Chain A
Amino acid sequence: MNLFTPLSWNDSGFILNGILNTIYISVVAIVIGTILGLIVGFMRVEANKVVNLFLGSALDILRSVPLIIQLILFSTYIGALGHPMDPFMAGSIILSLYTMAFMSEVFRSGFESVPNTMRTAARSLGMTYWQTVRYIRIPIGMRAVFPSWLGVALSVIKDSALVSVIGYMELLRTSEQLISRTQQPLTILLGVGLFYFIISYPLSLYGKYVERKMSI
């Protein structure tokens, strides 16, 4: 006698919801993380030693504590404060900060890759400080680090799976629930793996292609 309801087409809506949630939180984290990372990366290039030391150690904490611990700690802390947050909010805040920590390093090396002579040249053409940032340093520096940016973005998509631990219904948590109902772990997990692979693999190939093109 089979006591479990097998996987059926009726579950497709549930799975689709999980897929959309994964994409949603990844996009939010990548966008916010990129914006914050750009600001922080710029600050790290321009700021003095004291600010840099402070920023550097804050980013260090974000990078050296496992994401899963950060997520649990943050959502518990918010709960202990007496204002529980819904999993999406808590997850996207931590995931964005985590992304920011990696993006800021990427952008910092991007800013550092722009030769000083270019800035001097731009200033001597009568550009203001912010104009050199806007028209010279960001476009040239960011282009150089695009492959690394893509690498970080891809790892964020993969790391977004961890938000499931605080209860966000993304793809992996969806599949986990389906597994406990249907008891068909292999089919479901292979599908999930395929989904991540289909998103991640073409982008990583594109990243390699851009890298090769730029190196010549």
Chain B
Amino acid sequence: MENYVFHWNVVFKAFPQLLGGAFTTLHVSVLSMLVGIAIAVLLALGKMSHSKILVMASSSWIEIARNTPALFQIYMAYFGLGAFGINLSPYFAVFSALVFVNAGYLAETFRGGFQSIPKTQYSAAKSLGMTTFQVYRYVILPQMFRRIYHPMTNQFVWSILMSSLGILVGMNELSGETQRLQSVSFRTLEFFIVAAVMYFVITKFVLLTSSLIAKRIFKGDIA
């Protein structure tokens, strides 16, 4: 390390831009998570349905999402779709790749959570005179939510970490912004150290918040 002198000043000056990048990172992860959850519900329902076509379609989405690298999916969205004349912006390419993966992983989580609740509970609730809506609202969904809460948190953290791949397609999230700033200042090490710390803080913050929320809504008894 004797030849390398750290210059932190330039990083401090660029800090607002880094914060902007961090905001974009959160932004894209939250949005991709929300859309991913919506699609995942549909995929899970599709996989549990009786129609062969729906089962096939949702299974192939799920298996492709789970068995190929995230980087491949981002390349596919950014470079591959160009062959069809669809040119996505870097933000949208990363966003759609994350949605694709999130939906695939969460669909399996939802399906597992749903199937982990014994069918007998449904019959029991029905025999107590509940309507179908009430059965789901008061019996099935609360238990299911408890079981899928932690996998969902993990998936969210994963989205935050994987949105860092935006660096490769020139997106302006935290890594991309870091890359741009280091290329104009040549302080590679300093900028990436700060970026690493920021990712660590964001992830820890998300995990801490999620466990606080879990304590609050599950009142201590977490499945």
Q: C-beta contact mask, A65-90 vs B, less than 8 Å → 1, else 0?
A: 11111101100110011100000000
Whether the pair A65, B189 counts as a contact (CB closer than 8 A) is: no
Contacts of A192 in B (CB 8 A): 72
Interface contact A185-B83, CB-CB below 8 Å = yes
Interface-located stretch among A13-21, A118-126, A193-201: A193-201
A154-169 vs B, Cβ < 8 Å mask (1 yes, 0 no): 1000110110110000
CB neighbours of A201 from chain B (8 A): 63, 67
A189 to B83, CA, bound (A): 11
Query: Chain B contacts of A172 at CB under 8 A?
Result: 69, 71-72, 75
- Whether A165 pairs with B168 at a CB distance below 8 angstroms is yes
Question: Chain A residues near B64 (CB, 8 Å)?
Answer: 193, 197
Chain A interface: which size bin? 35 or more
Interface of chain B: mostly helix, strand, loop or mixed: helix
> Does B149 sit within 8 A of A, measured CB to CB?
no
Q: Give min CB distance, B157 to chain A, whole Å.
A: 8
A33 to B106, CA, bound (A): 27
Q: Are A68 and B189 in contact (CB under 8 A)?
A: no
Do most interface residues of chain A lie in helix, strand or loop, or is the interface mixed? helix
Is B203 an interface residue, CB under 8 A from the partner?
A: yes
Of the stretches B8-16, B125-133, B192-200, the one at the interface is: B192-200
Provide the bound-state CA to CA distance between A158 and B68, in Å: 6
Most buried by A among B67, B168, B175, B200: B67
Given known A-B contacts A69-B195, A158-B69, A158-B70, A186 and B161 have beta carbons under 8 A apart? no
Q: How far is the CB of B209 from chain A (nearest CB, A)?
A: 14
Contact B167 A68 (CB under 8 A): yes
Assess whether B196 is in contact with A161, with CB atoms less than 8 Å apart.
no
Would you give the shortest CB distance from A159 to chain B, in whole angstroms?
7
The digit string for B178-220, where 1 denotes a CB below 8 A from any CB of A, is 1000000000110011011001100110000000000000000
Question: Considering only CB atoms, which chain B residue lies closest to A184 in the complex?
Answer: B83
Question: Do the beta carbons of A65 and B83 come within 8 Å of each other?
Answer: no
Q: Do A66 and B83 touch across chains, with their CB atoms under 8 A apart?
A: no
Q: Are A76 and B188 in contact (CB under 8 A)?
A: yes
Given A66-B164, A72-B192, do A196 and B72 touch, yes or no (CB 8 Å)?
Answer: yes
A64: min CB distance to chain B, Å: 4
Docked pose: A154 CA to B75 CA in angstroms: 20
- A189 and B195 in contact, given A80-B4, A158-B70, A204-B66 (Cβ under 8 angstroms): no
Whole-angstrom distance from the CB of B48 to the nearest CB of chain A? 16
A190 at the interface (CB under 8 A from B): yes
A65-B67 in contact (CB<8A):
no
Alpha-carbon distance between A159 and B158 when the two chains are bound, in angstroms? 12
Task: Note all chain A residues with C-beta closer than 8 A to B161.
Answer: 64-67
Residue in B72, B189, B192, B199 whose CB lies within 8 Å of A193: B72
Looking at the assembled complex, report how far the CB atom of A172 sits from the nearest CB atom of chain B, in whole angstroms: 6
- For A72, A80, A185, A200, which residue has the most chain B Cβ atoms within 10 angstroms? A72
Interface pairs (26), CB distance under 8 Å = A64-B157, A64-B161, A64-B203, A65-B161, A66-B164, A68-B165, A68-B175, A72-B188, A72-B192, A73-B192, A73-B196, A77-B189, A81-B1, A154-B67, A158-B67, A161-B72, A165-B167, A172-B69, A179-B79, A189-B76, A189-B79, A193-B68, A193-B76, A196-B68, A197-B64, A204-B66
Beyond contacts A76-B188, A201-B63: 10 other A-B pairs, Cβ-Cβ < 8 A, are A60-B200, A68-B165, A76-B189, A81-B4, A161-B69, A179-B79, A186-B83, A192-B72, A193-B68, A193-B72
| Top 4 A-B pairs, shortest CB-CB distance | A66-B164, A186-B83, A200-B67, A64-B203
